Structure formats: structure tokens, C-alpha cells
Amino acid sequence: MNVKGRNFLTLKDFTPEEIIGFLDLAAELKEKKKRGVPVDTLRGKNIALIFEKTSTRTRCSFEVAAHDLGMGTTYLDPAGSQIGKKESIPDTARVLGRMFDGIEYRGYGQEIVEELAKYAGVPVWNGLTNEYHPTQILADMLTIREHFGHLKDIRLVYMGDARYNMGNSLMIGCAKLGMHFVACAPEAYFPNQELVAQCESYAEESGGTITLTENVVAGTRGADVIYTDVWVSMGEPDQVWEQRIHDLSPYKVTAKVMENAGPQAIFLHCLPAFHDLKTKIGKEIQEKYGIEDMEVTDEVFESPQSKVFDEAENRMHPFNGVWGATVGAVCARIDVNPTILRAGRSKSEAGAFHVLQKGEPMEENTVLCGANAYEKKYYFNPDFGSLPQTIQDELHIMCVLFTEEIGGIFTVEFTPEGDLEFRTEALEADAMYDDIGGPLRIKELRREKEELFRSLELFYKVFFLGEDVEA
């Protein structure tokens, strides 16, 4: 998966394989975090977090994820930014794009994040808009896959107002990944028909289905996942509460709904949820309308079938994956042997990486990192972050040079004898002329490559073999 430099605005922009790639990387980074393995391979990078709509989970998950990767963050709330007020979106994008390595936006219309992406010159990520919420969907899919072990053929029922970001994005995600999406709501609350038609075309390719129904019993029968969200979205006027409560109360998630789905079903909610009277708004709604809950009962929310806090934690890990893949491409998995890499493929066909201790012999060849200029990709082993920082820096420089300047294919491996072995395939001189131009520049690049080899060999002898070497 090569998505370096790409925006993350809606899942419509990504193939099923790329979405699964984000999930695989998220799962890998989550597992490393649990084991205490550092993954801070994006040190020196900085990102801006624009929050026109505040959020507990989104801000915390984004900041922790960024810090785990070694990145700095600057949080801009409505009071701390002039976006759209004293400064236009194109101007804001061009200013921030020169200061930061990426920009996250959480706010209102999708057109705002699209315009940011158009002018920023760095990756822009959608943290939530009125229309789409792609980061939440990655968290949901990771949670579902962790529970069931797979995503294909999972039946997910979304209950309530399916017209906005959650209904839209869940429908897209399910359709792309071969799942069966059901919008269970009054007809007036069905998703936009144009988007439904687009998702039906995705589902036809993936083996999924799209169903819209007003019938709660038929819609939830046999469901694997029952999903809901608040009935009034952030930013909507208070006047809509009465109408929504009237229209959507029959679609509340209750114990009866979960029983109809079956014992295998889990409950998900992107939070916050109005399931009791322990919040200020919950108390106000109870006083005004005489109800103790809204979209889900407290009984369901606190039941063993509820996985909402697993889901909330998983807001963090997918964005580790998205940022790692789009900002630096240095967290991408590599278990690739030289033959596969030379063939221009990046599928896994080799074993795991073994971190050498000083003087420790190797049992088999293991790829440490690689670069493929033909595909404009460079790769690092999953445990790359465990290496000494000086080794990481040298390998990073080498891979970038091969991918973007020197050309050809390059791998670094440990041999059974514990040596560091370089394998390269430089482009022919004629090809280098086309991209770079001039024999002097070619000689300069070859000299840089030789110097990098010597530098890396020196670091290897010092850090892994414990030798005293004069610089």
C-alpha cells in the first residue's frame, strides 16, 4: 500500500485493499503499543489539528496517536483560528501547509476540508464533517474485526438518522468491504439516493448489499452489529429535538432489539450517548420531554454486548496507521524478500524481523529495509523503530535517496553470519539522464551512495558488533 502524500477525506477515495491496509497497520501499531515497542518513526514531523467542532475522543485520540509516532501537534479550536473569518480557507491552507507536515480538520461542510486539501500542499485528513466521518469508520471496522475475526459478510444495522456523516460513512465502508449494510429508519431519514446508488455499485463489486427499511423487526433480525448515534448532530438548532424524538423513538436500541438480532450481536455507538440522566443535556431533555434516554437504553449500553469502549479506544490506532502511511510511509509493513522486491511487489512472503543484540549471530537472512524507485516506494520492517536512532536515520536517508533520486532497487539484509548486506540495482545511465540529467550529477549520486554505504557499515559495526572503530 503506497498512500504517502495522499489526503484522507472520505473512504470513497480508497480501494478495499487500501482500507484493509489501514486496518492492518492500525492493528500492528496497537499490538506494539500494548507491548511497549516504540513506533515514533515520524520524529521531526508536525501537524495542525483544526477543531471547529470540539470533541473529547477525537482530540485525545489524535494527539496521543501523533505523540506515539513522535510528531508534534498544534491544536486550533474556534477561538484559536481565523479560518473562514479573517482569513479565507485557501489562504489558511497555504499558510499552514508551509508550517506543518499535515492538517486535520474537524468541523462543518465537506467542502471546507476539500478546499483545504486543494490548497495545502500537504496531506489533509477529515476528522469529521457534516457529510463524512471516515476516521470513525476505521475505528468501527477495527473493533468489528477484533470481535468477529473478519469483516466479509458481517451484517451491520444502523438505526436512527442515516442522512448524515455516520450513516453515510458506515454505508460506504460496508459496501467497500463486502459487508451487508442496513439503514433502519423512517424513510425521511434514509441516506441520499445518489450516495446509495454509488454504494450499491461498490457492494456489487465486493459482494456486499445495501438495504433501506422502516421495519425494525425485519431490519435487525440476525444482525451482527447494531449501531446508532445521537439523534441531533452537533451544530443543529435545539428546535429539532422534539421532531427527532417523535420520529426516531421507535428506532431506539432496546433489549428487545438486541434479542431480535441474536446473542452473537454487538452494540456500537460513536459516542457521546444519551443513555441515562448523568449529563446536563440528558437532564434537560428529561425535564422537557419526560424521557430517561434517547437513541439507546442504559440497559443495552451497559450490557456485555456493548463494545462502545473498545470502539472508543480504537479511535486512536487507525489514525496511527493513516498518519504513518500518508505522512512518512515509514510505518508500512515489510516482510519482503529481495526476489519479491525486485519484481516490484510488496506482498508478504518472508518471516519476521529479528533485532540483533551485540555480537549475536543470525539464523537466516532478514530484510531490514528496502526501496523501489520503480514504484516510488520505500519500506521499513515493522520492528524498525526498535533500532538505535542513528541506524534508523541512516537507513531512512538511504531509502529516500534511492526512491526519489538515485533510482533502482535497494535492500539491506542481515546475513546468517550477522553481517549487513546491501543489494542494489541501479538504473542504467540512459534512464538516469532522463530523470536527472548530466554525467556529473550521476557521478555525484553514485558518490553519495558509496558514502552512505560506508557510513551505515560504520554504525553497524559500532552498535551491533560492539567494535571500536575510528570514524
Q: Which residues are within 8 A (CB) of 107 and not within 5 positions of it... i.e. 6 or more apart?
A: 50, 51, 52, 53, 113, 128, 129
106 catalytically annotated: yes
Prediction pTM value: 0.73
pLDDT reading at 442 higher than 70: no
Q: Looking at residue 253, what DSSP letter applies?
A: B
Task: Give the closest residue to 445 by CA, choosing from 463, 459, 431, 457.
Answer: 431
Residue in 229, 317, 335, 369 annotated catalytic = 229
Residue 227's CB: how many other CB atoms inside 10 A? 25
List the Cα angle 52/55/59 in 5-degree steps: 95
Asked whether 174 and 191 are in contact (CB, 8 A), the reply is no
Q: Which residues are within 8 A (CB) of 314 and not within 5 positions of it... i.e. 6 or more apart?
A: 26, 30, 139, 140, 142, 143, 146
Q: Higher pLDDT residue, 444 or 25? A: 25
C-alpha cell of residue 203: 457492494
Asked whether 403 and 376 are in contact (CB, 8 A), the reply is yes
Q: What's the chain's average pLDDT?
A: 81
Least confident of 266-270, 319-323, 420-424: 420-424
Residue in 270, 331, 369, 399 annotated catalytic = 270
The predicted-structure confidence for 54-111, as pLDDT tens digits, reads as follows: 898 899 999 999 999 999 999 999 887 778 778 899 999 999 999 999 999 999 999 9
pLDDT reading at 429 higher than 60: no
State percent of the chain over pLDDT 90: 57
Q: Higher pLDDT residue, 311 or 354? A: 311
270 catalytically annotated: yes
Residue in 59, 106, 155, 163 annotated catalytic = 106
- What confidence tier does 405 reach under pLDDT thresholds 50, 70, 90? low
**Angle of the 165-176 helix axis to the 193-206 helix axis, nearest 10:** 20
Q: Looking at residue 267, what DSSP letter applies?
A: E
- What confidence tier does 41 reach under pLDDT thresholds 50, 70, 90? confident
β-bridge pairing 366-372 and 409-414: antiparallel
pLDDT reading at 19 higher than 80: yes
Catalogue the long-range contacts made by 90-99 (C-beta closer than 8 Å, 24 or more residues apart).
Answer: 90/115, 90/118, 90/119, 92/116, 93/117, 93/118, 93/119, 93/120, 93/121, 93/124, 94/119, 94/120, 94/121, 96/48, 96/120, 97/121, 97/122, 99/46, 99/48
Residue in 59, 68, 101, 133 annotated catalytic = 133
Residue in 136, 140, 163, 293 annotated catalytic = 136
pLDDT reading at 416 higher than 80: no
pLDDT reading at 331 higher than 80: no
pLDDT confidence of residue 84: 72
Average pLDDT over residues 333-348: 29
List the Cα angle 162/164/170 in 5-degree steps: 65
pLDDT reading at 5 higher than 60: yes
315 catalytically annotated: yes
Residue in 145, 155, 163, 315 annotated catalytic = 315
For the chain, the maximum distance between any two Cα atoms, rounded to a whole number of angstroms, is: 82
298 catalytically annotated: no
State percent of the chain over pLDDT 70: 71
- What confidence tier does 388 reach under pLDDT thresholds 50, 70, 90? low
